[in-house]
Amino acid sequence: HLRSNDFRPDRHHRTGDQHLRWIKHLIMPRLITAWVCFLMLAACSPKIMIHRATTDDIILLPRAEAENKISTCYEPLSYVAHPELLRLKYVRVNIHFMNSSDGRYNMPEEETTNYAQEWIKVTNSNLERNMQMFLPRGNTTPVLDIPYRYVISPDPTVPGDDGVYYHIDDELCYAVKTGRDRNISDKRVIEKYAVRDDSVMNIFLQTHHLDSIPSPTYRPDASGISLGSSVKIFGNWHKRPNVWDIRGITNHEIGHSLGLSHTWGGHDGCDDTPAHPNCWNVTNKPPCDSLYSNNMMDYNAHMAALTPCQIGKIVMNMTRLGAIQRNILEPRWCVLDTSATITISDSIRWEGSADLEGNIVIRDGGILEIGCRVSMPEGSNIKIFPGGKLVILSTGKIHNSCNSQWEGIEFVEERKMKGRLYIMEGGKIENTLHPLGTQL
C-alpha cells in the first residue's frame, strides 16, 4: 500500500531524474504486483458458458428390453406423485338462470350476477379444504390439495358479457326428476342456450316443477346431472337457496364431468374409495352408525373429500390432448411464468403427462427422467448444469401444446464440463425454436 509520506514533497526540490527514479523504484513494483494478482485471479475464476443443445449433444439409448404393458401415463396415481407438477387449474364456467314468463321459476334477473359470484366462491371454498376420508374406518389415506378451481368466464366477443345469463322459456325452465314427465336428462336446454360449450362448462339452474313440489312422493331436493361439458342443477331457485347448501351437489356434478364416478359401488377405478351403503349421514342404527362417507362423489351431508386416486384421474383427464376436461380449462400453460420454474436437484422420474408453466433447471446431481408428454410454454427453456442429466424415455415427449414453440435445451458449461442429454429410442423433442429434435 502507498503511504501518505510517499506523496509528501521533500524539503528540497527534486530534479526530473529524481522523479523518474522515484517512479521506477516505488510505484512500478507495486503496479506490477497488482497486475499479477489480477491475472492470477482471472485464471482461477471458473469460465462459464451457455451452450445451446443441438442434435450433436444427444446421447441415444436403445429401447428398454422390458417395458410395462400399460403405460404409467394412464395410471391416475402417476399424476399426484410429484407436487411440483400439481399447479392449480382453472375450470371456466358460465351460469344460466332459467325462468318462466310469469317469473315464478327463478329469482329476478337483477339478483343473478351477485348470486352466481357468491355461489362459485363458496363452491370453491369446498375445494380449498379437502377432508380426511371417513372410510374405511381408521384409514390413513393421504389428504392432498385439490388442484382446480372454477372461474366465471364471460364471452370475450360480446361487449359487457359477464358469463351469467338469464333465459325466459316456459317449456325449459323447470325440471321433473321422476314420473312420466321426467326430463332431467333432456339436452334441449343445452342445445338451445349453451354458450361456448366447446371451451366452457355451462351450468343450468332449473327449478323443480311447481306442480310437483307439493306432492308427498316427490323430493324437490338439490340435485343435478352431468351431461358432458354441461351440468344441470335442480333446486327451488325461486326461493333463493343458501349457496352453502348447494356447494356439495355442484362439486359432485362437475366431478362427473371431470371424469369421476360414484364410489359407493366400489367400481369407480380407485382402490382408495371403498364400497359402502351410501348413507346420507351417521345414525344410531347399522350400517350407518359407522359406514357413512364424506366423499364428494357419494350422496352424503358432506361431499367434501377426494382421494389421491380421484384427484389423479381428474388431473390425468385435464392433461389429455383433446379431452373435454382439458378444453374447459384456462390454458395458463401457454404463457411463461418464471416464478413457476422447477429445479431438479436429485433423481426424479415423471411418469404422468404435464403442462408446465415455467422453465426447468437441472442442477449438479439432478436426474430428470420424462416418461410421458411434457409441454413447455412459449419462451421457456431447460437448463442443464454440469453433473445434471435429462433422460427422455421411449414413451416421453417434450413439446409445446399451444401451437407455438419453446426455446429448447441449454447446457451451462463450466471449465468445459457440461451435463448430459439422453433420448431413448421412441422419445421425442418437438416444437423447439431452434432445430433440436428435427433430425430424430
pLDDT (tens digit per residue) in 79-123: 999 999 999 999 999 999 999 999 999 999 999 999 999 999 999
Q: What percent of the chain has pLDDT over 70?
A: 87
- Residues 166, 341 contacting (CB under 8 angstroms): no
In this prediction, residues 376-400 reach a mean pLDDT of: 97
pLDDT band, residue 435 (cuts 50/70/90) = confident
Rounded Cα distance, 366 and 346, in Å:
4
User: What pLDDT, on a 0 to 100 scale, did the predictor assign at position 335?
Assistant: 96
Q: What percent of the chain has pLDDT over 90?
A: 83
Q: How far is CA 311 from the centre of its chain?
A: 11
Rounded Cα distance, 409 and 141, in Å:
39
Q: What's the per-residue H, E or C state across the chain?
A: CCCHHHHCCCCCCCCHHHHHHHHHHHHHHHHHHHHHHHHHHHHHCCCEEEEECCHHHEEEECCCCCCCCCCHHHCHHHHCCCHHHCCCEEEEEEEEEEECCCCCCCCCHHHHHHHHHHHHHHHHHHHHCCCCCCCCCCCCCCCCCCCEEEEECCCCCCCCCCCEEEEECCCCCEECCCCCCCCCCCCHHHHHHCCCCCCCEEEEEEEECCCCCCCCCCCCCCEEEEECCEEEEEECHHHCCCHHHHHHHHHHHHHHHCCCCCCCCCCCCCCCCCCCCCECCCCCCCCCCCCECCECCCCCCCCCECCHHHHHHHHHHHCCCCCHHHHCECCHHHECCHHHCEEECCEEEECCCEECCCCEEECCCCEEEECCEEECCECCEEEECCCCEEEECCCCEEECCCCCCECEEEEEEECCECCEEEEECCCEECCECCCCCCCC
316 versus 30: the higher-pLDDT residue is: 316
Q: Is pLDDT above 80 for 9?
A: no
Q: Is pLDDT above 80 for 10?
A: no
Grid coordinates given for 103: 317469473
- Residues 87, 318 contacting (CB under 8 angstroms): no
What is the reported pTM? 0.87
User: What pLDDT, on a 0 to 100 scale, did the predictor assign at position 277?
Assistant: 95
pLDDT tens profile 122-148: 999 999 999 999 999 999 999 999 999
pLDDT tens profile 32-88: 666 655 555 545 556 778 989 999 999 999 987 766 567 899 999 999 999 999 999
pLDDT band, residue 436 (cuts 50/70/90) = confident
Rounded Cα distance, 235 and 243, in Å:
11
Q: Is pLDDT above 80 for 296?
A: yes
Rounded Cα distance, 346 and 380, in Å:
22
Q: Is pLDDT above 90 for 21?
A: no
User: What pLDDT, on a 0 to 100 scale, did the predictor assign at position 64?
Assistant: 78
Q: What are phi and psi of 257, to 5 degrees?
A: -65, -25
41 versus 191: the higher-pLDDT residue is: 191
User: What pLDDT, on a 0 to 100 scale, did the predictor assign at position 308?
Assistant: 98
Rounded Cα distance, 229 and 147, in Å:
19
Q: Give me the chain's average pLDDT, please.
A: 90
pLDDT band, residue 416 (cuts 50/70/90) = confident
The closest of 29, 27, 34, 31 to 7, measured between CA atoms, is 27
pLDDT tens profile 211-228: 999 999 999 999 999 999
